[in-house]
Amino acid sequence: MTDWAPPRGAPLRMAMAVLIGALMAVPGVFAGPAQAQRLTDRLEERAYRVRGLTARTLVGYMRAYPFPGDYGAAMANIRPRYDLRVETQSHGAECRVRRVDLDIHFVMTLPEAVQEDALGRTARRHWQRFSRFARAHELYHRQIYLGCARRFLRAARRMREAGCRALERAVRQALSASEEACEAQHLAFDRREAPRLQRLSLFRAARAEGGPIAPPQGFGFSAALALGGGGGGGGVRAAGGGRFFAGGN
């Protein structure tokens, strides 16, 4: 391979642009603020398999055999798993964050009707509406998590401590505190969604078919859906994790 050189007469700025571009590709060179923090995420989907051929039997199955959330009976949830990497650097008498990377592995579990192809047209429509609602709800919680993570990264870059080990511990503690503070946003979203949850046609149809299951008053997703009107059971919401119906980190 021959060395590249700008053609004779090319503007000097072209050569300089190529040189700067090459240097920027080398890790650690010209690492500006935009490169000092990074947030990545990936989403893994799992299925909570539900059996039944009617609205009544589908909801009845979820009531009798709920998904085992970390904080009680559940029907769906999303859990974040964090991988935090912090690089620190001493500056005189203090230690500063040189780089902080956060990768979030989301595990989202959604209800899946095992016999969906065998459902009648009306029952299938009810189920699919419920399924879309659950997916959209969980994905919105994912966006809340990501927004909180971005704010954490900006704050972490400004942290200082006398020693680097103390700084690394402080950054990790700040991530835990950030997640706890983020809980208020999840709760507020759940409260906004509560009326829609209670009006889902799957539960109305189950009642019409003689089923005893109906979402109760309130926004307790685990109780409303997994236990459907029976009350009790899964904690309304669990601080620190698992969104929608129940769950946890």
List Cα–Cα distances, 71 to 84, 179, 238, in angstroms. 25, 17, 6
Profile the chain (249 residues) by mean pLDDT over runs of 10 residues: 40 37 36 67 96 94 82 80 93 91 96 95 96 93 96 93 93 93 88 85 90 40 37 30 37
- Degrees, nearest 5: CA angle 171-176-181: 115
Residue 71: the pLDDT is 58
Residue 33: the pLDDT is 47
Q: Which two tokens stand for residue 1?
A: 């391979």
pTM: 0.72
Distance between CA atoms of residues 218 and 133, nearest Å: 18
Task: Please answer whether residues 243 and 186 qualify as being in contact, where contact means their C-beta atoms are separated by less than 8 angstroms.
Answer: yes
Task: Please answer whether residues 116 and 195 qualify as being in contact, where contact means their C-beta atoms are separated by less than 8 angstroms.
Answer: no
Residue 238: the pLDDT is 31
Distance between CA atoms of residues 43 and 27, nearest Å: 27
